[in-house]
Amino acid sequence: MLEYRGKTAVVTGAGSGIGSGIAIALARAGANVAVADIEADAAEETARQVRSFGASAMSMRTDVSSYADVRQLQAAVQDRFGDVHVLCNNAGVSVKRRGIHASHADWEWLVGVNLWGVIHGMEAFIPAMLNSGAPCHIVNTASMNGLFPSARSAMYSATKYGVIGLTETYRNELAGTPVHLSVLCPAAVRSRIDESERNRPANLRAQPGGPEFVPSASYALSAPRTAEEIGLLLLDAIRDERFYIFTDASVRPYIEERHAQLLSDLDAVRRWDARQHD
């Protein structure tokens, strides 16, 4: 897809942060944008900014952990704009709590938004995308912590590793169709993810007390990028049909270290097999 003008895009978690940056980049490129967020006022504010660039926009309160909400979003966008050409399953939350200190409600909330939210988006939008026959692109937001462990929690990394595996497999399943996929793996970005608790549902509220948060790892990353920069990087990647969308080249040593360990431990099996025949 080399042209966004006149196309329709849906961005979840677009009331702030990366989602807002993606929505604005799409608007600048001339796309119609459906802005979805669990905060209705924030979604409408992003939609207002989209309209300021001359693009058409709609906003809708959407809890991506609810399949019913995401299906309603798909139907509303189809009714307003017709076929969807770009889907960005971007909504995400984070809890600064180690997995060993997490409550079951912590796990339910993060998995519900970060992983089920992406699954719901794929379930709700892919059938109509395939039926349209038009070139389409889906971008699922993971994280660099879907490629190496999070400094924050096992919960966050578990969901982001899941998003990457999900997207890689869907790419295989959709090969040969007009639906292309990418997975966004941002490093540091200026966003409100550290304020995620503001949108935590009452039935999954955090438990009081618990040990003080201590990061489980330390990564020397570059200064955070702006959400607007992420949006521009993403559009560039879609145009080039790149699968992995990175935002910080300084993470390369961490990726190399992880893959070096994978290959080393794989070689251990070869050495074990050789010893069995000695």
Token representation of residue 268 = 């251990």
Q: Indicate if 254 belongs to the active site.
A: no
d(C-alpha 1, C-alpha 273), whole Å: 48
Which one is catalytic: 4, 67, 156, 170?
156
Residue 16 DSSP class? S
Burial of 178 (0-12, 13-18, 19+ CB in 10 A): middle
Mean pLDDT of 82-93: 98
The pLDDT, as a whole number, for residue 207 is 83
30 or 209: whose pLDDT is higher? 30
Where residue 74 falls among pLDDT bands split at 50, 70, 90?
very high
The pLDDT, as a whole number, for residue 2 is 56
Q: Are 151 and 213 in contact (CB under 8 A)?
A: no
Amino acid 194 reads D
Mean pLDDT of 201-219: 85
Mean pLDDT of 30-39: 98
Q: E-strand spans in the chain? A: 8-12, 32-37, 57-61, 86-89, 136-141, 179-185, 244-246
d(C-alpha 228, C-alpha 234), whole Å: 10
**Number of other CB atoms surrounding residue 173 within 10 Å:** 11
Q: Is the pLDDT of residue 1 over 70?
A: no
Q: Are 141 and 152 in contact (CB under 8 A)?
A: no
Q: Is the pLDDT of residue 98 over 60?
A: yes
pLDDT digits (tens, 9 = 90+) for 134-160: 999 999 999 999 999 888 789 999 999
pLDDT digits (tens, 9 = 90+) for 251-272: 999 999 999 999 999 999 999 9
Where residue 181 falls among pLDDT bands split at 50, 70, 90?
very high
**Number of other CB atoms surrounding residue 201 within 10 Å:** 14
Taking CA atoms, 111 is separated from 32, 72, 141, in Å, by 30, 21, 14
pLDDT digits (tens, 9 = 90+) for 239-248: 999 999 999 9
Q: Is the pLDDT of residue 26 over 90?
A: yes
Q: What percentage of the chain carries pLDDT values higher than 90?
A: 88
Average pLDDT, the chain: 95
The pLDDT, as a whole number, for residue 41 is 98
d(C-alpha 276, C-alpha 278), whole Å: 6
Taking CA atoms, 125 is separated from 72, 94, 114, in Å, by 11, 25, 17
Strands 32-37, 8-12: parallel, antiparallel or unpaired by DSSP? parallel
Q: Is the pLDDT of residue 215 over 60?
A: yes
Q: Within 13 A of 191's CA, how many CA atoms are on the CB side?
A: 28
In the chain the first and final C-alpha atoms are separated, in Å, by 56
Mean pLDDT of 68-96: 97
Q: Are 253 and 219 in contact (CB under 8 A)?
A: no
d(C-alpha 41, C-alpha 59), whole Å: 9
